[in-house]
């Protein structure tokens, strides 16, 4: 089966955030919306068919998680990440960002410190702030075109009130697939100080050629003991609007606290359509996943060549996973990131994420989502190149 990722699908009229918030964010609707991290590729037919099949039944009543759901999830994780997850460690989770918020509420108290490593996926910042916890930044260091963790700074910031670290593994927006040595060192430091690590592994199934995802919990026994891992098919199979994810918590004490939190608000279940989609994704999705990644890699290569040839002032951080590319635009010489962002939108027709929303280290950066048809990417970049010529 060959899937077609060149297809251009009009998303207008579907309440797509990517389109409907352009005016508010960019001051114009006339942009290529290459920001929100969902794909412009068709959600694969084996998933749409599974949903349609469920809708054939005329009653959409209260339903259990299908019996295949957890065995398929566990098998998928074993096959793709060589992690043997016990059935008792895993449960349904209604979205990873909500899961991070639940973890913050479960394992910390108001005023406690939570570490994140910016520039990083911005909801990490909001979740901590919205729950009145103290945000501690351990800013990543850029070395040889990729991000590294700053362990010295990390250790120097930890106090008796530091209770949690939120890890993006692989990293969004830098696209870094953290290696075993890095994760082991992180685990060692966090275990020494009784810090729980929330490992957000939503991008795990999208490592690119030459890279392999390492689940944080697998690097050592102490990592397993302090870990709360979240995974999902939502990003990989373009079904984030359905909301389906899982938590995996090997440590019984941490698990009991998390499950108790979920139970207190009756948050343990999902909806029948996301169950059906997840089962179909893990049962039939491998070929689609591989072809989708091949197409994404083609787009990343296209972007890299285009920038080198036409916009050498923009330096892409080459991602090791996923479809997001972090662009260093400092050489364009804008006064600040707001001005840069506005120029890209209003002159270059680029609807991109502003680097500073990802926290410190995001200055003079933008994030582009290349999970779109190549022709759209090409048109968008041409439009940017024309605008930059006039600078
Ligand atoms: C690192 C990361 N975590 C979580 C999410 C969103 O997860 P969910 O839609 O399940 O809340 C995203 C989406 O872009 C992401 O990049």
Residues with CB under 6 A from ligand 1: 37, 95-97, 121, 168, 172, 200, 202, 232, 234, 240, 245
pLDDT score recorded for residue 227: 98
The CATH number assigned to the domain holding 216 equals 3.40.640.10
Q: Which helix (H) or strand (E) holds 188?
A: helix 180-192
The structure tokens listed for 92 are 């349904």
pLDDT score recorded for residue 1: 83
Q: If we measure between CA atoms, which residue out of 129, 128, 150 comes closest to residue 139?
A: 150
Which of 255, 284, 313 is a domain's end point? 284
Please identify, by atom number, the ligand 1 atom nearest to the C-alpha of residue 95.
10
pLDDT score recorded for residue 163: 98
What's the rounded Cα separation, in Å, for the pair 198 and 167? Answer: 6
Peptide bond into 103 cis (omega under 30): no
| Half-sphere exposure for 377 (CA within 13 Å, toward CB) | 29
- Is residue 113 assigned to a domain? yes
pLDDT score recorded for residue 116: 98
pLDDT in tens, 301-338: 999 999 999 999 999 999 999 999 999 999 999 999 99
266 lies in the same domain as 354: no
- Is residue 49 assigned to a domain? no
CB atoms inside a 10 Å sphere around CB 280? 25
276 lies in the same domain as 366: no
- Is residue 157 assigned to a domain? yes
pLDDT score recorded for residue 346: 95
38 lies in the same domain as 88: no
DSSP code of residue 321:
B
Nearest CA to ligand 1 atom 14: 37
Query: Which long-range contacts does 66-74 make (Cβ < 8 Å, 24+ apart)?
Result: 66/275, 66/276, 66/279, 68/279, 68/283, 69/275, 69/278, 69/279, 72/278, 72/279, 72/282, 72/283, 73/231, 73/246, 73/278, 73/282
Please identify, by atom number, the ligand 1 atom nearest to the C-alpha of residue 243.
10
Residues of the chain with pLDDT under 50: none
Which of 241, 265, 284 is a domain's end point? 284
Residue 328 alpha carbon to ligand 1 centre in Å: 22
The structure tokens listed for 138 are 């351990």
pTM of whole model > 0.95?
yes
Sequence-ordered alpha helix ranges (H) in 21-61: 22-26, 45-56
């Amino acid at each position: 089966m060959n899937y077609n990722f060149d297809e251009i699908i009009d998303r207008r009229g579907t309440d797509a955030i990517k389109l409907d918030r352009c005016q508010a964010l960019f001051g114009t609707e006339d942009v290529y919306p290459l920001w929100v991290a969902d794909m412009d590729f068709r959600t694969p037919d084996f998933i749409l068919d599974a949903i349609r099949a469920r809708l054939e039944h005329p009653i959409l009543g209260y339903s259990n998680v299908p019996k295949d759901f957890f065995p398929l999830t566990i098998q998928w994780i074993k096959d793709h990440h060589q992690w043997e997850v016990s059935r008792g460690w895993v449960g349904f989770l209604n979205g990873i960002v909500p899961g991070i918020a639940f973890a913050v509420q479960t394992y910390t108290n108001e005023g406690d410190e939570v570490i994140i490593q910016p520039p990083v996926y911005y909801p990490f910042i909001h979740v901590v702030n919205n729950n009145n916890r103290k945000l501690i930044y351990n800013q990543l260091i850029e070395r040889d075109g990729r991000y590294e963790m700053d362990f010295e700074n990390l250790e120097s910031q930890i106090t008796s009130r530091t209770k949690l670290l939120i890890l993006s593994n692989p990293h969004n927006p830098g696209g870094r697939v953290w290696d075993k040595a890095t994760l082991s060192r992180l685990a060692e430091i966090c275990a020494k100080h009784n810090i729980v690590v929330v490992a957000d592994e939503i991008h795990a199934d999208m490592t690119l050629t030459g890279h392999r995802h390492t689940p944080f919990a697998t690097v050592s026994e102490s990592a397993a003991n302090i870990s709360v891992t979240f995974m999902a098919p939502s990003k990989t199979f373009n079904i984030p609007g359905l909301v389906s994810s899982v938590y995996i918590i090997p440590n019984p004490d941490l698990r009991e606290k998390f499950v108790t939190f979920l139970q207190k608000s009756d948050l343990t279940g999902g909806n029948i359509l996301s169950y059906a989609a997840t089962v179909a994704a893990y049962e039939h999705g491998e070929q689609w996943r591989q072809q989708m990644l091949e197409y994404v890699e083609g787009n990343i290569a296209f972007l890299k060549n285009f920038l080198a040839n036409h916009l050498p002032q923009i330096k892409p951080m080459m991602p090791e996973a996923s479809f997001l590319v972090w662009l260093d635009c400092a050489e364009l010489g804008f006064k600040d990131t707001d001005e840069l962002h506005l120029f890209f939108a209003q002159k270059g027709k680029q609807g991109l994420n502003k680097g500073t929303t990802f926290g410190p280290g995001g200055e003079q950066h933008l994030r582009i989502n290349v999970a779109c048809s190549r022709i759209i990417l090409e048109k968008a970049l041409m439009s940017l190149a024309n605008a930059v010529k006039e600078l």
